[in-house]
DNA sequence: CGGAGCCTTGAACGGTTTCAAAAGTAGTGG
DNA sequence: CCACTACTTTTGAAACCGTTCAAGGCTCCG
């Protein structure tokens, strides 16, 4: 799983300027919601700081963490491009600064600066690879491998975040209970160390071994 | 799961013409391979007729059907846009006519006709939704629901194709044996009818009920 | 200091896979 | 047209892995 792109720093200066002219800046706290599955997109969101997550909650009530958005990434652009309602809800996982670009201005900027397409499309393409490889992981790997893989990924995306057992479970398609059991097994293997709620990686090599067999 | 877009028919005439000028046409039979995971993309493929599949085979040997490409869809464009090697292999599931567009010409056309971006990006965006919702399905639904969902989807994508139990299993993250057992259960519920290898849907409502609970 | 949300544990349960072996079917080429 | 080969379908029993459930303790934040 390669880390996602920082789109912003790939934009030419004039594109950055154009976005800066039209975006609305707002701060959110953990747990707040940007939009909900089923809503029709009114614009695109850009994570300036903090951490956001795209989640899907099924009929049976199970939550799945579909995607993580760190600073420099867009959110809600998929629905805009597809011309569809949101398929998941956007939730803040950390205190964050979010920029909102109304959809008219969003497309207007893309039309005016076709160069702006590239980083946007590139990130969509990366996200598609990540999603498809996760499908393969889910049908192929046992929980231990999935938790190991997830730990590596999550720590890489946002090392400062205190990842909860629930978030890990929601990301790798398991349950809080099971993740807790796997974590203590990983601690036994000296691959990680748990300090209260904090999890630190001791043996990346061991984790990689477990994750990718 | 909405059906994917036919990109071709969304292109303006001049774009179609530009593609026609540079593509190389070739016919393939079932089982032949367009490219393999890890290869670096040399261009984009376009399915003119037939059916292709993007597959991933894990270290343990399990195959996963990541994506299905029917006439009117591009293939290999994701890697081009992302600037990455292929994450899966492209295999023909039916006798097919495939057009190949070398990457230089591909990007040159996009630069010349920025309008050509839209359908391309739209399809990427749809594929991302489909992939992410499959992640949620896999962690949430039991095999019966996944097989039901898969039957509906596959029959919708390419009704003429004789979907094998293995293809169904590879798509929904299960095994041939299990799919066979589920299919006979579905036949008992009069949701489908099996005639040798052929599978026909009798009760779409029953299937939908099972798939989406 | 109260309360919501997070962490933890063990035992029992249950859904899928695994395995192996046999029969069926499509496609190939002599 | 037949024989051969490779692939697909089918079945049941046993094993296994992960979830479920419930109850209790913890911790962070307002």
Say yes or no for a CB contact (<8 Å) between A128 and B133: no
Confidence band, pLDDT 50/70/90 cuts, at residue B76: very high
Nearest Cβ partner of A59 from B124, B134, B212?
A: B212
Residues 150-169 of chain B with CB under 7 A from strand C are none
Note the pLDDT of residue A6.
87
Confidence band, pLDDT 50/70/90 cuts, at residue B6: confident
Say yes or no for a CB contact (<8 Å) between B138 and A173: yes
Say yes or no for a CB contact (<8 Å) between A60 and B213: yes
**Nearby residues of B1 by Cβ (< 8 Å), 6 or more positions away:** B130, B133, B149, B152, B153
Q: How far is the CA of A93 from the C1' of C5 (A)?
A: 14
Task: Chain B: give the shortest CA distance to residue A69, in Å.
Answer: 14
pLDDT over 50 at A196, yes or no:
yes
Say yes or no for a CB contact (<8 Å) between B125 and A173: no
Q: How far is the CA of B160 from the C1' of D19 (A)?
A: 39
Residue with CA nearest C1' of nucleotide C26: B197
Where on the phi/psi map is residue A132: left (φ > 0), alpha (ψ -120 to 50), or beta?
alpha
Question: For residues A154, A159, A162 and A163, what is the CA-based torsion angle, rounded to 10 degrees?
Answer: 0
pLDDT averaged over every residue in chain A: 95
- Residue-wise pLDDT for B92-130, tens only, equals 999 999 999 999 999 999 999 999 999 999 999 999 999
pLDDT over 80 at B3, yes or no:
no
- Residue-wise pLDDT for A103-112, tens only, equals 999 999 999 9
Note the pLDDT of residue B2.
39
Note the pLDDT of residue A213.
83
Say how many CB pairs under 8 Å bridge A and B: 130
Distance CA B119, CA A149 (A): 34
Distance CA A135, CA A42 (A): 29
């Amino acid at each position: 799983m390669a880390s996602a792109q920082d789109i912003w720093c790939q934009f030419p200066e004039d594109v950055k300027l154009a976005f800066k002219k039209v975006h609305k800046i707002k701060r959110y706290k953990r747990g707040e919601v940007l939009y909900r599955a089923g809503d029709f997109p009114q614009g695109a969101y850009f994570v300036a700081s903090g951490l956001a997550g795209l989640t899907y909650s099924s009929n049976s009530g199970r939550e799945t963490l579909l995607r993580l958005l760190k600073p420099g990434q867009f959110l809600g652009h998929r629905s805009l491009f597809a011309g569809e309602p949101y398929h998941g809800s956007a939730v803040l996982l950390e205190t964050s600064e979010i920029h909102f670009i109304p959809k008219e201005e969003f497309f207007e900027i893309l039309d005016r600066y076709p160069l702006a397409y590239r980083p946007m499309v590139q990130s969509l393409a990366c996200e598609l690879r990540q999603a498809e490889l996760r499908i393969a992981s889910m049908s192929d790997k046992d929980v231990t491998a999935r938790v190991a893989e997830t730990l590596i990924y999550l720590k890489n995306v946002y090392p400062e975040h205190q990842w909860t057992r629930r978030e890990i479970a929601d990301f790798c398609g398991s349950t809080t209970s099971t993740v807790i059991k796997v974590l203590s097994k990983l601690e036994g293997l000296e691959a990680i160390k748990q300090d209260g709620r904090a999890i630190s990686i001791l043996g990346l090599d061991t984790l990689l071994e477990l994750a990718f067999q």
